[in-house]
Structure 1
Amino acid sequence: MNIPRSRAALTALASAAVLALTAALPPTAADGPRPRASVAVDWYDTTAETVAAAGAPTQVTNNRTWAIGWLAAARATRTVPARIAPEDRRAYREAALAAAVHRSLTALAPDRAERLDAALRETLDRVPDGPAEDLGVAAGEHQADLVLRARRGDGLDPASVNAPFAVPAPAPGVWRPTPPAYAPATQYGSRLARPFLLDRADRYRLPAPPALDSARYREDLAEVREYGAADSGRRTERQTETANFWYGSSLTLYTEPLRVALSRSKGTEAEQAELVALFHVALVDTQIATSDSKYAHRRWRPVTAIRTGDIDPDPRWTPLHDTPAHPDYPSGHTTYSGAAEGVLTALTGPTTAPFDLTSPTAPGVTRTYTSWRRLSDENVDARVYSGIHTRTADEAGIVLGKRVAEHTLRNAGELFRPL
């Protein structure tokens, strides 16, 4: 396989892209220093609460909700009307950010309107009354309406994301439904959806996975067989904990790391909104690209390969965790983590002060992190220890996610142009 494995090279490309974006930003010195907590953090928490309470059953749909609201906020706050005095720019941006996210969430989660209206009133009560507030609210609502209109019918609703997939006839290496549920394939329709910035879903399609008669394939399968079995005697307690910790939704698990980055940002509301928007735009496009590679290659899952393949078949082999209903290559968890790492590294640097992270699939466990890369490294290992992905699929996922993140950063100027 011709997949580059140099994290340094990929990070350098992303960093170069964000330098170009930063150079295009308007001066912000007149806005004054930013507090540790901000309107951006308040509305980040409101978005997270809204998605958790009223979100869709498909992860990419929920990333889309984040992307729409925060893209509108970034566009609304990026420039301030010339008639707004320098000392009132913060008021304008705070009002614009709150109004943009509020308008978007109210449209996408109407059942939460009462709670969202209360949050908007709370924000605007803290913003000085006057033209800056009024114009900011108008700008935020206008940009939200434009983004909502532009994304209408983009194919990222749950029914479209899980469009039916015709399962091929059984053949060596080809995906088929997996035990115990043998459920129909999911996420096939994501590859047919309209990205935010990618010109097409297959822009960064991965090369084919290792051939079934290759040494790499044999190594991959042997590792999963040993370390990913439900009754594995090789997997340590720490490795089992890693598998459990990262088994859940990537959106859920990355909500706190992104919040950490946002809350530690010293930028204006415009720069904070851009961080959140870039993250979620990259993640929507990454999941579209992931679906494209998965269903282009249709590689079978380890449980199928181990139970029915030609290499020491074991019909009773069972993975630690149930296998999701879509092909092995690449791992969606690691494409997500690769894109997240790419955006966070480029915009905030590779390391951060220590922060704690918990997981709903590992109750009572708290892990502490100081770098975004470690999240990716653990995701790679976790899917092997879960018995649901090969290491090749995991490592390829990191590469794909970073490529889409770089594309997002490189084209951010187009993304944030107010309409």
Structure 2
Amino acid sequence: MKKHFSRFYVLLFIVLSSCQQKHDKQALDLYVEKGTTKLNHGLTDVIVSDIFTPPVASRIYAYANIAGYEAIRFQKKSLKSLAGQLNGLGPLPVPLADKSYYFPLASMVAFTDVAQELVFNREGIQELQAGILAEIQEIGIDSQTYRNSVAFGEAIAERILKWAKEDGYNKRTALPRYSVTEDHGRWRPTPPGYMDAIEPNWNTLRPFVLDSAQQFDPGPPTDFSEKEGTIFYEEATEVYATVKGLNEEQVAIAKFWDCNPNVSVTQGHVMYFKQKISPGGHWMHIACQATEDMQGSTSEKQGVMASVSIALADAFISCWDQKYKSNLIRPETYINAYIDPEWDPVLQTPAFPEHTSGHSVASGAAATVLTELIGGQYAFIDSTEVPYGLPKRKYRSFMQAAEEAAISRLYGGIHYRPAIEKGLVQGKRIGAFVMENIKLE
């Protein structure tokens, strides 16, 4: 209701002042140049406050950015629709030849209309949209072009949301929950929150580009064993020894890439979640920064954001398939049981099985897409974690950042090495497949 209420007054103001309204395309283009960044940062703020899990966050970014791309791609005639390229996405609305449009505005409406349907804090997205509409009106836009653009963005959003409802997300909660057993090698809830397993049925969702969740299966983890001298025992011992011998730089790396939005904090009898960005959100922030630096139209930049978000979403579907196939025990549980009962990891252990590392898969996928679209030698300073109290870090390339994100899981004490190394390869394969199978031009 608030969305339509806000739009009503913006539209009313335009109608009443149309005789004085100028269409300042140059000023509008300057304003929307960073529109993609503004939208994704605003969406991230809502996702963080809503405490969405990493898989769910990746889904939200993907649908919102796809909608944004489909509404703005007409700004450049050579850009192609993702309809027919993404699983289950059929033909989408197209602009009418006899009507005038400002496609960046349509894109912003499509993005925010989709986003608000996928989050809990709808008001946060509605306020973001209302602020953008008001600022565009204040700059100056032809009233008819404004109305046509808003209507076109709404039409794109409606079709994208219909497609999203068919991906299996709403059916997953009716599927069997994860069961804890007496199997010593099987994942079980970890301290301090002992949370239930997160999204055990995520692999049932329709992938965006992958043929199936199993397409890039990385293979099983090392065979579980409690005995000293076995390969698995040595992998656990490596985690144990690494954490005990960390230097300041390694601790900083672990904390910078923590990206666990479900960190629980217990004070007395009260437990609450510490709000943090997700792995997907971290990479979307990097993508925003990279698109701001790149040469190209706003539509091309939105195409990059859509591509990265698609790769991230498929990365989590693929990763979660193996996680709940192998159901491997986490280092914290194993080390406390068989090596040192007093040992603690640097990072809080996430509430899902170990193999493979979600951050490694997501980072490999996102870095591969960004390398393909932006370049392999893009050096940048990553400020993503500054709002969460951590300093900036420098990288020579996207892939260097991805490799650091992956090894951070060993430094943090939450993954064995095979999950990190296999996960990074898994992510790179997913990213490459996305780039091979979706063509923006």
Work out the CA distance in 2 between the residues paired with 1:162 and 1:38.
46
Q: What is the Cα deviation at residue 207 of structure 1? A: 0.9
Q: Give the equivalent residue in structure 2 for 1:261.
A: 290
TM-score (norm 1): 0.78
2:131 to 111, 114, 118: 118
Read off the aligned partner of 1:67 and give its amino acid letter.
Answer: A
Q: Give the equivalent residue in structure 2 for 1:224.
A: 239
Aligned partner of residue 188 in structure 1, secondary structure:
coil
Kindly report which structure 2 residues correspond to 1:138-157, keeping only aligned pairs within 5 A, or say none.
Answer: 138-156=151-169
Query: Could you give the per-residue CA deviations for residues 115-146 of structure 1, whole angstroms, max 9, x where no partner exists?
Result: 41221232355464276655443332211110
Q: Give the equivalent residue in structure 2 for 1:345.
A: 371
Q: Give the equivalent residue in structure 1 for 2:39.
A: 46
Aligned partner of residue 396 in structure 2, secondary structure:
strand
Q: Give the equivalent residue in structure 1 for 2:91.
A: none
Work out the CA distance in 2 between the residues paired with 1:145 and 1:56.
25
1:335 to 361, 370, 380: 361
Aligned partner of residue 207 in structure 2, secondary structure:
coil
Read off the aligned partner of 1:107 and give its amino acid letter.
Answer: E
Query: Could you give the per-residue CA deviations for residues 142-196 of structure 1, whole angstroms, max 9, x where no partner exists?
Result: 111100111015344698499721223323x322222343332112121122222
Work out the CA distance in 2 between the residues paired with 1:374 and 1:39.
31
Task: Verify the 8 A CA contact 1:36 1:266 in the aligned structure 2.
Answer: no
> Structure 2 vs 1, CA of residues 411 and 168 (structure 1 numbering), >3 Å: closer, same or farther?
farther
Task: Verify the 8 A CA contact 2:254 2:408 in the aligned structure 1.
Answer: yes
Q: Give the equivalent residue in structure 1 for 2:79.
A: none
Moved more, 130-139 or 349-358: 130-139
2:396 to 370, 375, 398: 370
> Structure 2 vs 1, CA of residues 346 and 43 (structure 1 numbering), >3 Å: closer, same or farther?
closer
Q: Give the equivalent residue in structure 2 for 1:322.
A: 348
Aligned partner of residue 332 in structure 2, secondary structure:
helix
Read off the aligned partner of 2:41 and give its amino acid letter.
Answer: A
Query: Could you give the per-residue CA deviations for residues 193-230 of structure 1, whole angstroms, max 9, x where no partner exists?
Result: 222222321121221112346875354222201112xx
Count of matched residue positions in the alignment of Structure 1 and Structure 2: 372
Aligned partner of residue 255 in structure 2, secondary structure:
helix
Q: Give the equivalent residue in structure 2 for 1:69.
A: 64
Query: Could you give the per-residue CA deviations for residues 13-70 of structure 1, whole angstroms, max 9, x where no partner exists?
Result: xxxxxxxxxxxxxxxxxxxx99996525224323322341364522332322222222
Q: What is the Cα deviation at residue 383 of structure 1? A: 0.9
Task: Verify the 8 A CA contact 2:256 2:390 in the aligned structure 1.
Answer: no
Kindly report which structure 2 residues correspond to 1:8-87, keeping only aligned pairs within 5 A, or say none.
Answer: 39=32, 41-53=34-46, 55=50, 57-79=52-74, 83=97
Aligned partner of residue 219 in structure 2, secondary structure:
coil
Equivalent pairs: percent with the same residue? 29
Kindly report which structure 2 residues correspond to 1:92-131, keeping only aligned pairs within 5 A, or say none.
Answer: 92-109=102-119, 110-112=122-124, 113-126=126-139, 128-129=141-142
> Structure 2 vs 1, CA of residues 333 and 289 (structure 1 numbering), >3 Å: closer, same or farther?
same
Read off the aligned partner of 1:48 and give its amino acid letter.
Answer: H
Structure of greater relative contact order (alpha carbons < 8 Å, 6+ residues apart): 1
Q: What is the Cα deviation at residue 382 of structure 1? A: 1.3
1:200 to 171, 187, 212: 212
Q: What is the Cα deviation at residue 93 of structure 1? A: 2.7
* 1:209 aligns to 2:238 (yes or no): no
Task: Verify the 8 A CA contact 2:36 2:301 in the aligned structure 1.
Answer: no
Q: Give the equivalent residue in structure 2 for 1:250.
A: 279
Moved more, 278-287 or 178-187: 178-187
Moved more, 256-265 or 53-62: 53-62
Work out the CA distance in 2 between the residues paired with 1:192 and 1:331.
19
Read off the aligned partner of 1:259 and give its amino acid letter.
Answer: C
Read off the aligned partner of 1:190 and give its amino acid letter.
Answer: W
Task: Verify the 8 A CA contact 1:61 1:158 in the aligned structure 2.
Answer: no
Work out the CA distance in 1 between the residues paired with 2:385 and 2:174.
26
Work out the CA distance in 1 between the residues paired with 2:302 and 2:385.
26
Q: Give the equivalent residue in structure 2 for 1:166.
A: 179
Q: Which runs of 5+ in 1 are unaligned?
A: 1-32
Q: What is the Cα deviation at residue 102 of structure 1? A: 3.0
Read off the aligned partner of 1:95 and give its amino acid letter.
Answer: L
Work out the CA distance in 1 between the residues paired with 2:131 and 2:415.
44
Q: What is the Cα deviation at residue 255 of structure 1? A: 3.6
Read off the aligned partner of 1:189 and give its amino acid letter.
Answer: N
* 1:185 aligns to 2:178 (yes or no): no
* 1:175 aligns to 2:170 (yes or no): no
Q: What is the Cα deviation at residue 352 of structure 1? A: 1.8
Read off the aligned partner of 2:381 and give its amino acid letter.
Answer: F
Query: Could you give the per-residue CA deviations for residues 75-124 of structure 1, whole angstroms, max 9, x where no partner exists?
Result: 22223669589xx8xx6332222222232234345323244122123235
Task: Verify the 8 A CA contact 1:44 1:259 in the aligned structure 2.
Answer: yes
Moved more, 100-109 or 145-154: 100-109
Work out the CA distance in 2 between the residues paired with 1:203 and 1:328.
19
Aligned partner of residue 79 in structure 1, secondary structure:
helix
